[in-house]
Amino acid sequence: MTSPILVIGGGQNAEHDISLASAAAIEGALRSRGFEVSAITIGRDGRWRQGEHPLGESIAGSLVASLPTLARAGVVFPAIHGPLGEDGALAALCALADKPMVGSGMRAGAIGMDKWATKLVAEATGIRTAPGRLVHAADVESIEFEMEVVVKPVSSGSSYGVTLARDAGQLSEALRTAVYYDDRILIEHVVHGREIDIAVLREADGSCWAPPPLEIHAEGLFDTATKYNGTARFSVPADLGSSDRVALTQAALRMFDALSCSGVARIDFFLTEEGPVLIEVNTMPGMTAESQVPRMFAAAEVPYEELVARLVDAATVPAARPLPHEWPKA
């Protein structure tokens, strides 16, 4: 058993409260398994805190003041969703500090958070995505309505800023909403199909596997409000034929591998008559016991506390990388 574990929650983005819930649940699960746990919260203002009190007067000062806590940690468990957390920012800090970390590293976090880059990787690995285009905030006023589309900020989670636009007025409003969250916007054709989530876990021995898929049942777009107001219904395991389940699972494993993910990731698809269509990849998905990923593992008889412990175990395996004195000389 490795200790202490430093759980980091909060964050400077719209998913702050969701992250706090994940961090609290993870901390409780680790304590129930006998781990020594410390916790730090990053406030909406960017200042690092222990308890209710900021560790410094400025963002930089509070980060500096948190470094002794980081130095004492055996493993860091970053439970921050969205920008400046899930996007590789915390993974970079842990890499510079040479601290083992639960979850995906800088590259996977950065690419997975960028929906446009994720589309390019998916298409390169033979996985279908919705036809779409990338636009910049400076160009939104010149975008004309052509067909029903979904508008998304390129780097945002929990469907914040995601809107279905059926006419020119809705498109204009959707673009203005998306710009609030990011200066790069993805406009995609609407895909009609069943919404299926696949979770993938990399174990301590390096093996990867997926528990039973989950299907989301929602009226219309599965947007932020629907995700958190209790109106959506989940089916685990999803009612799938063997060929569909195999196709979805293989696509998820290919994306997990192509992005070099670690820990656990959730890969979301539409299942259409032509097969899976990738929606997005979440390298730090919601991690309360009632979140989608823990529900899928529970269906595979892996309880929540066991899942969290396995993530810590996998993070303690040393990375296979050469030491500086072993690098080839120029």
The per-residue pLDDT for range 107-133, each reduced to its tens digit, is 999 999 999 999 999 999 999 999 999
Instruction: Give the pLDDT confidence score for residue 260 in this predicted structure.
Output: 94
Residue ranges, CATH 3.30.1490.20, the chain: 131-189
Both tokens assigned to 28: 């409780």
Tokens (6 digits) for 218: 């929602």
- Say whether pLDDT at 243 is over 90: yes
Amino acid 155: pLDDT: 83
Token pair 């960028």 is found at 114
Give the pairing of strands 264-272 and 275-282.
antiparallel
Task: Name the 3-class secondary structure at 102.
Answer: coil
pLDDT digit string, tens, across residues 55-100 = 999 999 999 999 999 999 999 999 999 889 999 999 999 999 999 9
Residue 324, pLDDT above cutoff 80: no
- Domain(s) labelled CATH 3.30.470.20 in the chain stretch across 111-127+192-315
CA-CA-CA-CA torsion for 316, 20, 226, 282, nearest 10 degrees? -30
How does strand 149-153 pair with strand 184-189?
antiparallel
Residues of the chain with CATH 3.40.50.20: 5-101
pLDDT at res. 92: 95
pLDDT value at 292 more than 60:
yes
User: Distance between CA 70 and CA 72 in Å, rounded?
Assistant: 5
Domain 111-127+192-315 -> CATH class: alpha beta
Q: Which class in CATH covers the domain with range 131-189?
A: alpha beta
**Global confidence as pTM:** 0.89
Topology (CATH) of 5-101: Rossmann fold (3.40.50)
- pLDDT higher than threshold 60 for residue 225: no
